[in-house]
Chain A
Amino acid sequence: MPRTVWDSTLGKKTVMAVSGLIMLAYLVVHMLGNLKIFFGSDEFNGYAHWLRTLGEPFLHYEWALWITRVALVVAVVAHATAAYQLSRRDLRARPAKYVHKKRRASYATRTMRWGGVILGLFIVWHILDLTTGTLHPGGFQSGHPYQNVIDTFSTWYGNVVYLVAVLALGLHIRHGFWSAAQTLGAGSRTRDRALKTTANLLALVLTVGFVSVPVAVMTGVVS
C-alpha cells in the first residue's frame, strides 16, 4: 500500500494534498494566535508560554509544542519532496514547447512551483529568525516573543521578506485548497463554487491576518 501510493502520480499528489491541508490547518491557528499581539505584550507572551504548558499535566512541559513541530516538519518535507518529484516528472513529460505560445491558467495556478519555493525558503528563515533567534536582528530574547516580533518588523528586509511570503501563501492556498479537494476526490460539479469560494476566503483571511502584524508594527499600532 505505501509503495502503491508513493510510486503513483495520483498517490504522490494525495500526499501533497494531505500534507498541504495539515499545514493549512496549522496556519489558521497560527494566524489567530498571532493576532493576540494586538492585546499587548503580557497577553502575547503569556499565550506563547501557554503553548509550552499545553496538555499538562498529561503531557510534559513543551511536549505538545514538540509534537506539533515534528508533525509540521514531516508535512513540509513530504510536501516539498512530492512537489519536487512531480514537477520533475511534469517537465520531462512535456520537453518541447509550442512555437505559438498561449497563456491561460490563472496566476495562482502558474505560480504554485515558484510560490512553493518562496514558502520553503521563508519557513527556514522564519524559524531561524523567531524560533531559534540565529538570524534575529538585535538581541533575541527567548520567552519574549512580543519584543522579538517588533525587532524583526523594525527592519526593512524583515517586512519585505515577510510580506512577499504571505502574498505567495495567499496565492498558494487559493489554488491549493481547491486542488486538494479534487485530489482527494471531494470535488463535484455541485460543490465546485462552494469550494472555490472557500479557497478564496481562506486565502484572503490568512493573508489579511498575517499581514496585519507587520503593518501594525510599521504604523506604530503595536510598539
Chain B
Amino acid sequence: MKLTLRVWRQRAADADGAMSTYDVDGISPDMSFLEMLDTLNEELILRGEDPVAFDHDCREGICGACSLVINGDAHGPERTTTCQLHMRSFADGDTIDVEPWRASAFPVIKDLVVDRSAFDRIIQAGGYITAPTGAAPEAHATAVPKPDADFAFEHAECIGCGACVAACPNGAAMLFTSAKINHLNVLPQGAPERETRVLDMVERMDDEGFGGCTLAGECATACPKGIPLVSITSMNKEWLRAARKAGKR
C-alpha cells in the first residue's frame, strides 16, 4: 500500500505545532497502525530527520498507552485500540490525518504524545480499596451477586487510554471516571469508601480542568473497551447519593 500521512508535529510542549505531510510506501495491509508509523520513523531516521513521537507499550490492546486521533476518530475507524488497528481498514492511496488527543487536561508533550497524568491523579483520589495486605484472601470469603460481578467486570475493562476525553467535544473525563467508580462501588470490597470515592474522584476530575457532560455520547462511541454511556448515569446516581449522605453528616 502507498499512503499519504498528515501528522501533527510539535517539537516541545511550549512550541507551536503543525500538520506535516509524509508519503509512505510498501505498507502491508496486515501491519498494525503503529507498525506503519514505525516504518515511517525508520525512513525518517535514515534521512536524518526527527522521528514522530507517539505513545505505545503492550501493542496488545490491554495497557492503554497508545493514543492517536486518526481521521478525526480516537483510535481510528474500528472499535479497538490504535495498536490493534490494522492497515487493512484503509485503502491504497488514502490520505490519513494523525493527531494527538486534544484536551487542556492532556497537554501535548511532543508530536503525538500527551501527558495523561491527570488520570493518575483521579485514581489517586479514590480509585482504590482499603484492604489488609498480606496473603490473598480466600476468593469465596466474600460473596458477590452475579449481576454485580458482571457490572464490576464490565467497568474494570477500562484501560485508561483517554480516548473518551479525546472524543468528547467538552474534553470531559466522565466515562473514564465513571468506569473506575462503578467498578469499585458495586463490590463489597469497595463499600467502605463508597461515598468518599465518588465525591473525591469527581472533585479531582473537575480540578484537573476536564469539561462537563452534555451527553453527546462521543466517548462511548470511541471507547475501545465498550464502556457504555449509561455508566455516567450510574456515576451521577452514586454522586447524588453520596452528596445527600454528606449533607446529613
Using a CB–CB cutoff of 8 Å, the interface residues on chain A facing chain B are 1, 4-5, 7-14, 86, 89-102, 104-105, 109, 112, 175, 178-179, 181-189, 192
Please provide the chain B residues from 223 to 243 with a CB less than 8 Å away from any CB of chain A in the complex.
Answer: 228-230, 232-241, 243
Interface size on B, residues (CB 8 A): 50
Bound complex: CA of A7 vs CA of B239, how far in Å? 13
CB <8 Å contact, A90 and B72 = no
Would you call the interface of chain A mostly helix, strand, loop, or mixed? helix
Which of B71, B171, B232, B234 sits near A93, CB closer than 8 Å? B171
CB <8 Å contact, A184 and B240 = yes
Given contacts A1-B246, A5-B243, A92-B104, 17 further A-B contacts (CB under 8 A): A1-B247, A8-B202, A9-B172, A9-B206, A9-B212, A11-B243, A14-B240, A93-B105, A99-B97, A101-B72, A105-B217, A109-B214, A109-B217, A112-B214, A178-B215, A183-B213, A184-B237
Using a CB–CB cutoff of 8 Å, the interface residues on chain B facing chain A are 6, 8, 19, 69, 71-73, 97, 99, 102-105, 168-172, 199, 202-203, 205-206, 209-218, 221, 228-230, 232-241, 243, 246-247
Given A90-B212, A102-B73: A189 in contact with B239 (beta carbons within 8 A) = no
Closest to B166 in A: A98
Would you call the interface of chain B mostly helix, strand, loop, or mixed? mixed
CB <8 Å contact, B211 and A90 = yes
CB <8 Å contact, A189 and B240 = no
Closest to B74 in A: A98
CB <8 Å contact, A4 and B247 = yes
CB <8 Å contact, A109 and B216 = yes
Given A90-B212, A184-B240: A100 in contact with B97 (beta carbons within 8 A) = yes
